[in-house]
Amino acid sequence: MENKGQDIAELSAKNTKPKNKLRFLDSWFALYVITFTLILLGQSIGLASTVMCWVAGIVMPKYAPFLQMYGMYIMFAGIWVVFLLWFYFIKRNRPLMATFTPQLKGNNWKGLLIGLLIGGGQNTLCIMAAYIHGDIELHFSGFNIIYLLLLFFAVFVQSSAEELSCRGYMFYKLQNRYKIPAVSIFVSSMFFGALHLGNEGITILSFVSIVSTGVFYAMIVYYTDSLWCVFAAHASWNFTQNIIFGLPNSGMPSSYSIITMNFDTAQDSFFYNKAFGVEGTYFADIVLILSCIILFLLKKKIAAKEKYDIWTGTYVPNKV
């Protein structure tokens, strides 16, 4: 009996040892390092398309403003490539392929439409507040439907790539590791904010704004089981801000937009920050924090009845 018990104990130890080693890879610190490395690799790959756009802009100066914007955003396609490969070829990550497919109940056209309305609505509210307050001057520049469609595609690639890495990868890995939703929501959002620390004009207010956005998007994914919704919300926010109104997007100026802003007359206020745009303001922080609170209060009404458990491949009741 003693030998049999020892054999079972030894076998159990052998079986749990490799699991413990792999479990470390799902800790918040390891995920920070892995995700950041994958993002850098993806941007390095996508840089080739950006350089091609820059060169094309030099050869054809007439199209340079459009090509500059397109190249800045389409570079993030490399992140999609890297993460898809990471999901597919690393067996333990393969269930994550389901996060951006209709297997998630919320990944549908309704989720996309709601996301577009949310992101565009939030950003337009912030911009209109700054405009009405007299902090910015806006002037109609021009309208080219082909350019706008191409730019929306590029912006969607950029925004969805960030969401795929921060929500589609990190959020779900953290949720599987720590089980407590607040941990996965907050930790992934802090990483999302840290990604923007190198942006020009970053401030404490803008960092709070970006982290609050991350919390809001993570809550949407958790409650509605929809990554498509945050793909659209993120893209709509950036497109509205940078391409429609011509304001800086997280500190990055726009070289092509329907409406242009007079940067010389812009002024800092409760509603606008000259270095970072509407994102670096008290008003934007209030809008985003209130969005999180409203989402929390409405969670039972908007939550999907069932959620797809990507790790078991089954649908389970959504307990929120």
Burial 125-147 (b: 16+ CB within 10 A, else e): ebbebbbeeebbebeeeeeeeeb
Evaluate the CA torsion angle 137, 139, 144, 145 in order and state its sign.
positive
Q: How many residues does the chain have?
A: 320
| Backbone phi and psi for residue 307, each to the nearest 5 degrees, phi listed first | -120, 150
Nearest residue to 170 via CA among 149, 191, 200, 150: 191
What one-character DSSP code corresponds to residue 98?
A: G
- Residue ranges in the chain whose pLDDT is less than 50: 1-2, 4-18
The residue with tokens 């002037």 is: 139
pLDDT per position as a tens digit, 222-270: 999 999 999 999 999 999 999 999 999 888 888 899 999 998 999 999 9
Using the 8-state DSSP alphabet, how is residue 201 labeled?
T
How much is the pLDDT for 153?
A: 98
Tokens of 134: 């007299």
Distances (CA, A) of 57 to 52, 62, 202: 9, 8, 29
Residues 6+ apart with CB under 8 A from 90: none
pTM over 0.95: no
Q: What is the pLDDT of residue 38?
A: 98
What amino acid occupies position 60?
Answer: M
Find the DSSP H helices in the chain.
2-24, 28-59, 64-74, 77-89, 109-132, 145-163, 172-178, 181-194, 204-224, 227-238, 282-297, 299-302
Cα–Cα dist 107/299, whole Å? 17
